[in-house]
Amino acid sequence: MCGECSGTPEASIKTMDRRRFLQLGGAGLAGVITATAATGAFGPRRLMAQTLSGTSLAAEFRAAEKAYGVPEELLLAMGYVNTLWEMPPPAVSDYQEGDLHGRGAYGTMQLLQNPSRDTLGMAAALTGLSESRLKRDRASNVRGGAAVLAKIAGQSKPSGLEGWQEAVAEYGGGPLYAQEVYETLESGASLTNSTGESLRLEAQEVVEAPVIYRTQGRVADYGRAAWHPAYGGNFTNANRGARKIDFIVIHVAEGSKSGTINWFQDSRANVSAHYVVGRSGGIAQCVRNADIAWHAGNWPVNTRSIGIEHAGYGKYSGTWTRRMVRSSAKLSAHLCRKFNIPADRDHIFGHRQASATLCPGKHFDRNRYIRLVRRFKKQR
């Protein structure tokens, strides 16, 4: 097992090569996009867009729908959950054993290639496009994602959006992904991505997000968190308390909330963090506070810290939403009170302060974050 991020006691600490991600932007051409809604067969819609040159992301989603019969709205919601409609360069998540961010998830549609899944290879076989092109070309990546989803759904494709839930769950590795996608369909989404394209997905009134039923028994250590346990071989059982926990380490996931949780639950991942915070502020706990998560790429830090992942990408400023930051700061304030951790820069820091990485990226404002932690710590 590689110790790039897990930092297990038997592994050496290695340098993670993610610098290219902060040097490269998403694929695609910057342009001005205009979005308007119309009415179509699958409910309120649709993005009508035009860029200064090249194809727009909206046009790429429409072309994928036409080619494979997958509703454009569904593809848009998946792309938003996956990457906020960005096209991260392959280097950001190339599979590396023991790398916290090395899930092998590529492009807007997060096509996977790791020891557990190979939807990238499936997309190549279905579309006739090379794996390299699917990784690097946005239009090809969107087309590949649609092809995989259509294959999962089978020849008798669902007539409405709700009928695609099982296929979406299988595509994304479980019901948590489907829940994120269908919550996005239900609420709608809009943003301007890093290539300058302003996209808007209208709320789909006929869609209801699936409910994730909780297993009876163990609950999270933090009252605001849902318990989604990591695979037992991805962390170290321990019995830590206030005398052994001194630090809080902040990470950016280089992926979605559900994708990160699913990766921690994968028996081949060899990585984990204690908590994962989503864009809307929802929190999942994956490793008990008392146990040692494999997240810092530095075993001494792992043994003395709590690791908090945040859905999104270090390159993109849109990752750090107000709701996410406040929710995370409240969690850190709780941990500071519980384990007597000082709310300062020496005890709350980014992954890059513990290991050779740029995580959590230049857009994480540590000073503001610590100010919020101090405020919430006083409020109890």
pLDDT in tens, 66-122: 999 999 999 999 999 999 999 999 988 898 887 777 889 999 999 999 999 999 999
State how beta strands 348-350 and 247-250 pair.
Answer: parallel
Domain with CATH 3.40.80.10 in the chain: 214-379
Number of C-beta neighbours around residue 66 at 10 A: 11
Greater confidence (191 vs 207) lies with: 191
Residue-wise DSSP of 207-251: --PPP-PPPSS---SSTTEEE-PPPGGGEE-----TTT--EEEE-
Query: Using CB atoms within 10 A of its CB, is residue 16 exposed (0-12), middle (13-18) or buried (19+)?
Result: buried
Measured CA to CA, the distance from residue 340 to residue 324 in angstroms comes to 23
Query: What gap in Å lies between CA 251 and CA 311, rounded to an integer?
Result: 9
> Which pair of tokens denotes residue 282?
């929802």
CATH 1.10.530 domain span(s) along the chain: 31-201
Percent of the chain past pLDDT 70, that is, above it, reads: 84
pTM (2 d.p.): 0.82
Quote the CA–CA distance of 164 and 158 in Å, as a whole number. 6
The answer, yes or no, to whether residue 33 has pLDDT greater than 50, is: no
What are the pLDDT digits (tens) for 319-344?
Answer: 999 999 999 999 999 999 999 999 99
Positive or negative torsion for Cα 360, 259, 75, 141: positive
What kind of fold does domain 31-201 have according to CATH?
Answer: Lysozyme (1.10.530)
User: Around Cβ 77, how many Cβ atoms within 10 Å?
Assistant: 26
214-379 is classed CATH 3.40.80.10: yes
How far CA 322 is from CA of 111, 238, 363, in Å, comes to 29, 34, 13
- Strand-pairing partners, residue 284, are 226, 276
Question: Scanning the structure block, which residue is given the tokens 């759904």?
Answer: 153
Mean pLDDT is lowest, of 43-47, 136-140, 213-217, 373-377, for 43-47
Instruction: Please report which confidence band the pLDDT of residue 29 belongs to, taking 50, 70 and 90 as the band edges.
Output: very low
